[in-house]
Amino acid sequence: MSEQPLDGAVALVTGASSGIGAATARRLAREGAAVALVARRGDRLRQVANDIAAAGGHAVTVAADITEPQRAEDAVQETLDRLGRLDILVNNAGIMLLSSALHTSVEEWDRMVSLNVAALLHITHAAVPHLIYAASTSPRQVADLVNVGATAGRVARPGSSVYSLTKAGLNAFAESLRQELVRERVRVSVVEPGTVETELVNHLNEVTRDAARLQVAGIEALRPEDIADAIGYIVTRERRVVVNQMQVRAGDETW
């Protein structure tokens, strides 16, 4: 018997070109899964795939903008064509654009809704039938759908109104989906990170970026690998165990 709990399983990770997505892909590969890496930046995906291969794992790259419904469907189909099945979907792709309603633009709000909500819906809709099939046919007898949310989905702060909206909506979507899929043995989970050292802050304008960094200056931020560990824990539980929600905050974080 393999010592790797995900031996034979296939995972698809969105936003896998950096940060939490890349760390999660590496973690799932170490657990034995073959991983489809999905993001828009093909060059960055190839680097992650090379890292996984160098560590003895297996990954394929799928460069796609999943804010487009057809590209999301194509990404799932390419995963099936190249890896044969789909047991785990990690919805990690997202963007955080912080600013007050007075000073932001509708375009920035639309970008967040497009990636944080619409893209998640597109890839989930395409993946669910295959997750159900995997749960009924795999030795594990279970499949997993993990959504990366944020503590901002529960604790809204000034400047984060639409970002918090997208993450709170994710929580509601996941809870409804959990109830729909529980009899199909597809586990639906949400991991809610607090302050993590990722590229998200780089998308902010200079003034907001400096303010965000000042706010967390006294905090030792989480690493992407910390969130990957949480996701790895969730998807490697035996079938009888379901971890539906997990908040992971930095030790010094008060919000």
Q: What is the pTM of this model?
A: 0.91
Type of residue found at 162: V
Q: Is 163 a catalytic residue?
A: yes
Domain with residues 10-248, CATH architecture: 3-Layer(aba) Sandwich (3.40)
Burial of 3 per CB tally in 10 Å (0-12, 13-18, 19+): exposed
pLDDT tens string, the chain, 255 residues long: the values are: 457 999 999 999 999 999 999 999 999 999 999 999 999 999 999 999 999 999 999 999 999 999 999 999 999 999 999 999 999 999 999 999 988 999 999 999 999 999 999 999 999 999 999 999 999 999 999 999 999 999 999 999 899 999 999 999 999 999 999 999 999 999 999 999 999 986 555 545 554 444 445 455 578 999 999 999 999 999 999 999 999 999 999 988 877
What are the residue boundaries of the structural domains of the chain, listed by start? 10-248
DSSP 23: H
Alpha-helical (H) ranges within 35-191 are: 42-54, 69-83, 106-113, 119-137, 161-181
Type of residue found at 206: E
Residue 94: closest CA among 149, 158, 156: 149
Give the sheet arrangement for strand 88-91, strand by strand: 58-63, 34-39, 10-14, 88-91, 143-148, 186-193, 245-248
DSSP 68: S
- Give the N- to C-terminal CA distance of the chain in Å, as an integer: 44
Catalytic residue selected from 67, 146, 163, 221: 163
